[in-house]
């Protein structure tokens, strides 16, 4: 099996999930962006120090994707190869490019808008607009320790591949808890982007389960769904 760099392999998975035709070999990614007139891209991706000049000059990519904390010297080396291959080469780090690819800023805006949506209660009462004040903190018994529901929720979902089921009677605050988590994650994300940090936190989006078909056992892409 031909060698594929770890970063290139990650992007093949992400692009395939978006419905782009994609293939990779070593550091080279060849992908077609769906559109009325499909756009063909040739990119390279890998650890900056491992990508050789000769390979860049042979492949002639329009974009090179490197690790988040790539050394400035290596980024300048790769960027400078544009003059040798007769085209501009954009060198980008992984996280900001993934964020752009998946429109993270738009997702965060929609998450905040959903979390701040007001629902008219019985007798025409309108709840507080602030998701923090709408949520009434609950205590959860965890290993003989009382922890807040928000702390438990965030810690549990912080584990890769984890799933949390919230079971409670109507009116006990399930929706408020989810909206609190949705709003907080969007706020943390937007703060990180405004500071131009290399890494950004995940965004939580509420998804209505009503009307969805049950997931199949052989489903390859797993979505974390939070009941609405």
d(CA 118, CA 41): 44
d(CA 51, CA 217): 39
* Mean per-residue pLDDT, 18-44: 94
* Mean per-residue pLDDT, 14-41: 93
pLDDT in tens, 142-197: 777 788 878 877 777 777 677 777 777 877 778 888 888 888 888 888 888 887 66
The model's pTM is: 0.66
* Mean per-residue pLDDT, 18-35: 94
pLDDT in tens, 82-91: 888 888 889 9
| Tokens 């309108």 sit on residue | 126
Copy the structure tokens of residue 4: 């594929």
Q: Please answer whether residues 140 and 153 qualify as being in contact, where contact means their C-beta atoms are separated by less than 8 angstroms.
A: no
Copy the structure tokens of residue 11: 């992007």
The pLDDT mean for the chain works out to 81
Nearest to 152 by CA among 132, 170, 166: 166
């Amino acid at each position: 099996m031909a060698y594929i760099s770890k970063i290139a392999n990650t992007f093949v998975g992400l692009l395939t999930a978006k419905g782009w035709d994609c293939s990779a070999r070593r550091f080279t990614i060849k992908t077609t962006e769906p559109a009325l007139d499909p756009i063909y891209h040739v990119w390279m991706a890998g650890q900056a120090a491992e990508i050789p000049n000769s390979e860049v000059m042979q492949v002639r990519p329009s974009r090179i994707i490197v690790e988040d904390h790539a050394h400035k010297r290596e980024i300048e080396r790769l960027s400078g190869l544009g003059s040798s291959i007769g085209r501009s080469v954009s060198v980008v780090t992984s996280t900001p490019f993934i964020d752009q690819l998946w429109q993270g800023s738009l997702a965060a805006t929609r998450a905040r808008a959903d979390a701040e949506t007001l629902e008219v209660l019985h007798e025409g009462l309108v709840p507080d607009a602030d998701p923090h004040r709408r949520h009434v903190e609950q205590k959860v018994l965890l290993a003989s320790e009382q922890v807040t529901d928000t702390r438990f929720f965030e810690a549990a979902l912080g584990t890769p591949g984890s799933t949390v089921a919230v079971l409670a009677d109507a009116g006990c605050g399930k929706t408020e808890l989810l909206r609190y988590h949705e709003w907080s994650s969007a706020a943390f994300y937007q703060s990180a982007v405004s500071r131009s940090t290399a890494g950004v936190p995940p965004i939580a989006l509420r998804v209505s389960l009503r009307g969805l078909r049950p997931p199949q056992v052989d489903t390859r892409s797993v979505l974390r769904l939070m009941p609405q």
